[in-house]
Amino acid sequence: MSRFPLCRSLLFLALALSLSACQAAPVETTVQTPTVDTTDVEIPSTPQTYVAFVLNTHDWVFPEDSAASLNKVIDIHEQYQVPVDIYLTDPMVQLYVNSYPDLIERLKTSPYVAVSYHTRPPSPYASSFDFLHLDQMSEEDRYDTIYEYETHAMDLSTGETTSAPGGYAYLKELMGYAPYVVSSLSSPSVQATVNEVWKNMGARFTLVHGTETTLGDEKNGLYLRPETVEVKGYEQAGKSSAEEVVMAAMGEIVDPSKDAFINIKWHEDNYYASGTPWNNVYFEDGDAHGGAFLTPPWDTSVGVPTTKRKTVVQVASQWQLYEDLVKYASEHADTLTAINAKDLVEMLP
């Protein structure tokens, strides 16, 4: 059965032409029914509602918990045979390669996983973290600097690149394909250069937040990951059922005549931490959404003691809602088409 079922209505055409010829002699009547060629008739399709599960991984402070959460997410998606998008940062790739090689292999071989790539501090082009002042560099120097970061590993204490392989290029080598979506929210000039580097390495999509995007939209030479409705699932845990979350998202679809894309998002640390574990390492007062970034070198040891852990009940509610949502998608394939970024590439016009 096709991964993308399209319900189409049959189009029936019936044309009749009657010609009568009247003469003074005996009247003869001729009735002609022309043959209608329907081979070029375009049959309209019913708009689809697509749902994508997105897991962002970025927590190097608690590596064991991060790896365990990622493995459990993959378990759930393999159990219900529902695709998932998993976004990795370079530090997480380095951590998994060195300490959890079986997880890297699983990310590579699971038929339900599509790997993508994003950035977090101390990447100098992570959101609001330009400690190198990339926006003041020439275009050539900026490109070369970003290329260096996307081909080498990054030191979490200094923010500098090392001699080890890393970045987007390393993840591409590990997976055997170019990670599909890339994300880094920077100033416009820096963002354009970052996207150019990633595009030249094989990326297909980038993303923007806070605005609706449609399949085929582009930015800086990359396609935009389509998004009609963003669902921050981790904020609904313990508050709403899976059905209520999905129904609320579908209620936000403004134009039912177009395909809709519902993206359901989690971070791996949502399952065990209250707050982002590395915020206190890189930002004043641990505020990544308004506080100034601290200058290097950074004390990476402060993450553990300053991170508040979720309670047993909170952890259970996160996992319960996540699994219920994946199960709901698997049981409602008649109204929801579950996809990941690999599918998006195949759907491009």
Q: Is residue 14 part of a domain?
A: no
Q: Is residue 201 part of a domain?
A: yes
Here the CATH number for the domain that contains residue 338 is 3.20.20.370
Q: Is residue 123 part of a domain?
A: yes
pLDDT tens sequence across 256-298: 999 999 999 999 999 999 999 999 999 999 988 888 899 999 9
Per DSSP, 233 falls in state G
Q: Is residue 172 part of a domain?
A: yes
pLDDT value for 30: 40
pLDDT tens sequence across 183-219: 998 999 999 999 999 999 999 999 998 899 999 999 9
Distance (Å, rounded) from C-alpha 93 to C-alpha 150? 12
Distance (Å, rounded) from C-alpha 15 to C-alpha 232? 53
Helix, strand, coil share (%) of the chain residues, nearest 5: 40, 20, 40
Q: Is residue 183 part of a domain?
A: yes
Report DSSP letters for 63-91, one per residue: HHHHHHHHHHHHHHHHHHT--EEEEE-HH
Q: Is residue 331 part of a domain?
A: yes
Residue 139 neighbours by CB distance under 10 Å: 11
pLDDT tens sequence across 301-330: 999 999 999 999 999 999 999 999 999 999
If you average pLDDT over residues 34-56, what whole number do you get?
Answer: 69
Per the structure, the count of domains in the chain is 1
Distance (Å, rounded) from C-alpha 3 to C-alpha 111? 13
b/e for 54-67, b at 16 or more Cβ within 10 A? bbbbbbbbbbebbb
pLDDT value for 44: 42
Paired strand residues for 8:
45
Q: Is residue 308 part of a domain?
A: yes
Per DSSP, 123 falls in state S
Output the pTM of the full model.
0.87
Q: Is residue 247 part of a domain?
A: yes
What residue numbers bound the domain in which 73 lies?
49-347
pLDDT tens sequence across 133-169: 999 999 999 999 999 999 999 999 999 999 999 999 9
Report DSSP letters for 263-319, one per residue: EEEEEGGGGTEES-TTHHHHBGGG-TTTSPBPPSS--GGGHHHHPEEPPHHHHHHHH
